[in-house]
Structure 1
Amino acid sequence: MAKQYKTLYPVKYYRDYVAHNIRPDGREFDHYRPVILNSDSISNLEGSAIAKIGKTTVICGIKAEFCQPKPDKPNEGFLIPNLDLPPLCSPKFKSGPPSDQAQAATKVIDDIITNSECIDLTDLCIHKEKLAWCLYTDLICLDHDGAIIDASLLALFTALKNVRLPSVEYDAALDNKIVNLEQWHHLKLHCTPVSSTFAIFEDVIFMDPTAEEESLCQGIITVVTKNDKICSILKPGGATIAEPNLLDCVKMSTARSKLLTKLMETASEESKDEPMYMPPKLEVLSA
Structure 2
Amino acid sequence: MTVQIVPQIERDSIYKLIESGKRLDGRNFDEYRKIELDIGVYKRAEGSARVKIGNTMVACGIKLGEAIPYPDSPDEGTLTTTAELVPMASPTFQPGPPDENAIELARVVDRGIREAKTIDLKKLCITPGEKVKSVFVDTYVLDHDGNFMDAAALGAIVALWNATMKDGEKLPVSKKPIANTFVKIANKILLDPSLEEERVMEARLTVTTDELGNIVAMQKAAAGFWTPEEVMECVRIALRKGKELRKLLK
TM-score by length of 2: 0.91
Q: CA deviation at 1:7?
A: 5.1
Identity %: 33
Where do residues 132-151 of structure 1 align in structure 2 (5 Å cutoff)? 132-151=132-151
Distance in 1 between the 2:17 and 2:76 partners? Answer: 52
Q: CA deviation at 1:237?
A: 5.1
Secondary structure of the corresponding residue to residue 76 of structure 1:
coil
Distance in 2 between the 1:25 and 1:35 partners? Answer: 15
Distance in 2 between the 1:118 and 1:234 partners? Answer: 19
Q: Does structure 1 conserve the Cα–Cα contact (< 8 Å) formed by 2:65 and 2:134?
A: yes
Secondary structure of the corresponding residue to residue 106 of structure 1:
helix
Q: Aligned pair in 2 of structure 1 residues 242, 68: CA closer, same or farther (>3 Å)?
A: closer
Secondary structure of the corresponding residue to residue 235 of structure 2:
helix
Unaligned runs of 5+ residues in structure 2 are 1-5
Distance in 2 between the 1:239 and 1:70 partners? Answer: 38
Task: Show CA shifts across 1:223-271 (max 9, x none).
Answer: 1110132222222353222333322221211111111111012xxxxxx
User: Would you say 1:190 and 2:174 are equivalent positions?
Assistant: yes
Where do residues 50-129 of structure 1 align in structure 2 (5 Å cutoff)? 50-129=50-129
Where do residues 26-41 of structure 1 align in structure 2 (5 Å cutoff)? 26-41=26-41
Distance in 2 between the 1:147 and 1:208 partners? Answer: 6
In structure 1, the partner of 2:202 is 218
Distance in 1 between the 2:233 and 2:104 partners? Answer: 26
Q: Does structure 1 conserve the Cα–Cα contact (< 8 Å) formed by 2:15 and 2:185?
A: no
Task: Show CA shifts across 1:107-142 (max 9, x none).
Answer: 222222222222222111122233221122111110
Q: Does structure 2 conserve the Cα–Cα contact (< 8 Å) formed by 1:69 and 1:76?
A: yes
Q: Does structure 2 conserve the Cα–Cα contact (< 8 Å) formed by 1:68 and 1:129?
A: yes
Distance in 2 between the 1:19 and 1:215 partners? Answer: 17
Question: Which of 187, 204, 224 is the matching residue for 1:203?
Answer: 187
Q: CA deviation at 1:28?
A: 2.3
Q: Does structure 2 conserve the Cα–Cα contact (< 8 Å) formed by 1:154 and 1:264?
A: no
Amino acid at match of 1:165: M
Distance in 2 between the 1:114 and 1:19 partners? Answer: 38
Q: Which has the larger displacement, 80-89 or 101-110?
A: 101-110
Unaligned runs of 5+ residues in structure 1 are 1-5, 168-183, 266-287
Q: CA deviation at 1:77?
A: 1.5
Q: Does structure 1 conserve the Cα–Cα contact (< 8 Å) formed by 2:109 and 2:156?
A: no
Q: Does structure 2 conserve the Cα–Cα contact (< 8 Å) formed by 1:119 and 1:189?
A: yes
Question: Which of 233, 244, 264 is the matching residue for 2:218?
Answer: 233
Distance in 2 between the 1:129 and 1:19 partners? Answer: 58
Distance in 1 between the 2:63 and 2:219 partners? Answer: 28
Q: Aligned pair in 2 of structure 1 residues 107, 19: CA closer, same or farther (>3 Å)?
A: closer
Q: Does structure 1 conserve the Cα–Cα contact (< 8 Å) formed by 2:66 and 2:134?
A: yes
Q: Aligned pair in 2 of structure 1 residues 73, 250: CA closer, same or farther (>3 Å)?
A: closer
Distance in 1 between the 2:221 and 2:177 partners? Answer: 19
Paired residues, number: 244
Q: Does structure 2 conserve the Cα–Cα contact (< 8 Å) formed by 1:93 and 1:99?
A: no
Q: Aligned pair in 2 of structure 1 residues 14, 237: CA closer, same or farther (>3 Å)?
A: closer
Amino acid at match of 1:230: I
